Chain A
């Protein structure tokens, strides 16, 4: 009969935890749904078109419901993809991603209400794009490279929109619509859905 040493036992525990961690990281790494991202982009384009028809670029009556619908679609599509790949959704990587993205998005929501109360809604498109870009860039460090680059491009669009508010609506459409669709297509092509 063999008795493992304390070192063997500790090593076995560490190795099993490491294997589990690597498997979880790899699976959540590509778990962001490309089809969900495309759907979010379509919602973004519809919202931009509606805002354009109302002649108010940062119309909260349009963009707030659009944001809620987009978040619901993104969460639902990611859960469906995780289930289809038989991987747990709420793992370490997802946990970290949510933690680094949430503060930026909450700050964006607070600024939205503060700027709206001050009557400076002209800066909202640039601020939304920049804050979303900051959150996605940070959260993207736990996901595929395309996510980080999407965050950087959102930041750049936000910077332009802050200094050229007249382009705000066009940039909102390009970012929340076009960019989401482009990255979604990339995710579907490279990471299977």
Chain B
């Protein structure tokens, strides 16, 4: 049978490259600002806003808006649900590689 079961059950929300980047970056830091995240991901304001909103709507990240002096500041943080989804995604990637290794050993 061709194709891995792990591939079929992937979380499509974080399978998208930029959203995967947002979740991964936030897994490494407690909190990142919009500007910092934009620089880490090397993307545009519009792109980051759109994909961050999707993750926020799914409950994967938490967005807080505050003021630093007079300037508005948007901060992003990974939720427990988002962290769990990334862990599952990582396990699925590892499963694919393990299945490949086992298939190679059998041949």
Interface residues of A (CB under 8 A from B): 1-5, 8-9, 11-13, 15-16, 18-19, 22-27, 29-30, 87, 144-145, 190, 192
Between A and B, 28 residue pairs with Cβ closer than 8 Å are: A2-B3, A2-B5, A3-B2, A3-B3, A3-B4, A5-B4, A8-B7, A8-B100, A9-B96, A12-B93, A16-B90, A16-B93, A16-B94, A18-B21, A18-B24, A19-B24, A22-B25, A23-B28, A26-B26, A26-B28, A26-B32, A29-B29, A29-B39, A30-B36, A144-B36, A144-B39, A145-B39, A192-B30
Smallest Cβ distance from B23 to chain A, in angstroms?
A: 9
Q: Which residues of A contact B28 (CB under 8 A)?
A: 22-24, 26-27, 87
Cβ-defined contact, A18 with B1, below 8 A: no
Cβ-defined contact, A190 with B33, below 8 A: yes
Q: Which residues of B contact A19 (CB under 8 A)?
A: 20, 24, 86, 90
Given contacts A26-B28, A26-B29, contact A9 B5 (CB under 8 A): no
A23 to B90, CA, bound (A): 13
A16 to B93, CA, bound (A): 7
A26 to B5, CA, bound (A): 31
Cβ-defined contact, A26 with B17, below 8 A: no
Cβ-defined contact, B24 with A23, below 8 A: yes
Asked whether any CB of chain A lies closer than 8 Å to the CB of B97, the reply is: yes
Interface string of B7-41 (1 = CB under 8 A from A): 10000000001001100111111101101100111
Given contacts A16-B90, A18-B20, contact A4 B25 (CB under 8 A): no
